[in-house]
């Protein structure tokens, strides 16, 4: 059993399977895997004694959950209106070029993934890029490599 799977099994010892525990369980699961793998969703449904469709129903309702593997460092380029006006489209292209992957993809070594988001609530510092929970404002295309290099050391 993988280390992650063992940690995942330990989650269940902290809960009783009550309905209100579903979201914390999903959050704990995502903290381990970085997303919600299908086999984990099955195990959660069994533990909670509810249909798997109900677990997915709750998880998809909230924007915080992911259903496919992401990079260790998830790059999110905001393409909301304020960021778009400030050149976020060109910024996304610069990330795609520098990372060698398209939006919605993950690097071969799983170090980075690239995705678009719509307004992260920081329009005053548009265009905005998030790397995990870190927020970068006024990002110009020429800073893309500099931002990536910060996290490349930790890959």
Contacting residues toward ligand FES, per CB under 6 A: 78, 80-83, 119-120, 122-123, 126, 128
SS3 for 32-73 is HHCCCCHHHHHHHHHHHCCCHHHHHHHHHHCCCCCCCCCCCE
Half-sphere exposure for 77 (CA within 13 Å, toward CB): 27
Q: Which residue is nearest to ligand FES (CB)?
A: 80
Q: Which is nearer to ligand FES, 48 or 91 (CB)?
A: 91
Q: Which is nearer to ligand FES, 45 or 82 (CB)?
A: 82
Smallest separation, CB 143 to ligand FES (Å): 16
Smallest separation, CB 19 to ligand FES (Å): 34
Separation between Cα atoms, residue 127 and residue 91, nearest integer Å: 8
Q: Is residue 119 a known part of a binding site?
A: yes
Q: Which two tokens stand for residue 23?
A: 């979201």
Instruction: Please answer whether residues 126 and 82 qualify as being in contact, where contact means their C-beta atoms are separated by less than 8 angstroms.
Output: yes
Q: Is residue 103 a known part of a binding site?
A: no
Quote the radius of gyration of the chain (alpha carbons, Å).
18
Q: Which two tokens stand for residue 8?
A: 């995942």
Q: Which is nearer to ligand FES, 45 or 122 (CB)?
A: 122
Q: Which is nearer to ligand FES, 43 or 92 (CB)?
A: 92
Q: Is residue 105 a known part of a binding site?
A: no
Smallest separation, CB 85 to ligand FES (Å): 8
- Binding positions for [2Fe-2S] cluster are 78, 83, 119, 123
């Amino acid at each position: 059993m993988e280390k992650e799977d063992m940690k995942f099994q330990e989650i269940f010892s902290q809960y009783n399977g009550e309905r209100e525990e579903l979201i914390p369980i999903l959050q704990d699961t995502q903290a381990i895997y970085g997303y919600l793998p299908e086999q984990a969703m099955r195990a959660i449904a069994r533990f909670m004694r509810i249909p798997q469709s109900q677990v997915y129903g709750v998880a998809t309702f909230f924007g915080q959950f992911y259903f496919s593997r992401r990079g260790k460092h998830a790059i999110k380029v905001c393409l909301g209106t304020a960021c778009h006006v400030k050149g976020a489209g060109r910024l996304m292209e610069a990330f795609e070029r520098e990372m060698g992957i398209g939006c919605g993809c993950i690097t071969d070594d799983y170090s980075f993934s690239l995705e678009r988001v719509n307004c992260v609530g920081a329009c005053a510092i548009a265009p905005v890029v998030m790397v995990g929970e870190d927020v970068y404002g006024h990002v110009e295309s020429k800073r893309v490599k500099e931002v990536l290099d910060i996290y490349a050391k930790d890959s």
